Amino acid sequence: MSALELIKAAKNASKSIGLLTSDQKNEILKSVSVLLSERTQELLAANQVDIDNGQAVDMSKSLQDRLRLTEARIESLRVAIAELINIPDPIGETVRDITRPNGLHLKEVRVPFGVIGAIYEARPNVTIDIACMALKTGSAIILRGGTAAQNTNAVLVQILKDALSANNHNPEAVQSVDEFGRDGANAMMKAIGLIDVLIPRGSASLIHAVIEESKVPVIQTGDGVVHIFLDATAKEEYAVSIVKNAKV
């Protein structure tokens, strides 16, 4: 299948994923957690291949660290999934409910995005994090996780698909276009009417490139490495809260 065909498959699957109940979505996430535990050694083996490939091309130590999975890091992913399961389902929540002077009743209700695209760099944890958050909110997900993590991400994506299948839901709701390299990312950025929102996560250059080239809506994340300046007159409770939220 081409990258475009995979994107279309995710779009089709999003229709049924968006109708899942909170319990059904949480059962999928529980299955992801179980499979991460059961396939830990398979994951570590695939990850080592990516690490070896990176070392062969003089990948920086910092990038290798972001790329590396360990048993402890896999367990941290499972802890994060458990926390996500316990978060109330936002879908169906009424954000605003008003009646205009002319009697018109308006209600703002949270609904799934539909299909979310994510473009990021050598961060296997993001594969699980963003896919699980997408499923929690009833959306399909298309992932472009970078060539450096291709072997690791292939196992992670299969785990996500298997979790969907184990609960009798469409596994096409999770797709990866890693095998297509840059062409996969380009297909995502041009998928008007198929991808509802695109989220870039990584370096400033990656984020800026996606913002400039994408034809679909983009949620812009920060570049990072920002600073907080506290004046001596700042209220302590505000200062502590702001710093903790931004830096911890």
Contact (Cβ atoms closer than 8 angstroms) between residue 215 and residue 189 = yes
- List the CATH number of the domain containing 224: 3.40.605.10
Q: What's the confidence (pLDDT) of residue 204?
A: 87
Best CA proximity match to 10, nearest among 113, 126, 107, 127: 113
Contacts of residue 91, defined as CB under 8 A and 6 or more positions apart, other chains included, come to 22, 110, 111, 112, 137, 138
Query: How many CA atoms does the CB half-sphere of 127 hold within 13 Å?
Result: 33
Alpha-carbon span 68 to 60, nearest angstrom: 12
As given in the structure block, the two tokens for residue 145 are 């996780």
pLDDT at 226 over 80: no
Per the structure, the count of domains in the chain is 1
**Maximum pairwise Cα distance, the chain:** 69
pLDDT at position 61: 93
User: What is the pLDDT at residue 198?
Assistant: 98
Q: What is the pLDDT of residue 7?
A: 98
- Determine the Cα–Cα distance for residues 145 and 127; give it in Å rounded to an integer: 7
What's the pLDDT score for residue 137?
97
- State mean pLDDT over 125-151: 97
pLDDT tens digit sequence for 41-85: 999 999 999 999 999 999 999 899 999 999 999 999 999 999 999
| Burial label, 99 (beta-carbon count in 10 A; 0-12, 13-18, 19+) | exposed
pLDDT digits (tens, 9 = 90+) for 206-225: 999 999 999 999 998 765 55
Work out the number of other CB atoms within 10 angstroms of the CB of residue 131.
29
> What is residue 82's predicted lDDT score, i.e. its pLDDT?
98
- The Cα–Cα gap between 115 and 135 comes to 10
Per-residue pLDDT at 8 exceeds 60: yes
Which of 17-21, 91-95, 120-124 has the lowest average pLDDT? 120-124
Rounded Cα distance between 179 and 158, Å, is: 14
> How far is residue 21's CA from residue 61's CA, in Å, rounded to a whole number?
43
Q: Is the pLDDT of residue 123 over 60?
A: yes
Residue range of the domain that includes 60: 3-247
Asked whether residue 2 carries a pLDDT value surpassing 70, the answer given is yes
List the one residue out of 129, 110, 106, 115 whose CA is nearest residue 22: 110
Q: Each residue of 88-118: pLDDT tens digit?
A: 999 999 999 999 999 999 999 999 999 999 9
Strands 115-120 and 140-144: parallel
CB 3 within 8 A of CB 132: no
Share of the chain above pLDDT 70, in %: 97
**What is the arithmetic mean of pLDDT over 128-157?**
97
**pTM of the complete model:** 0.86
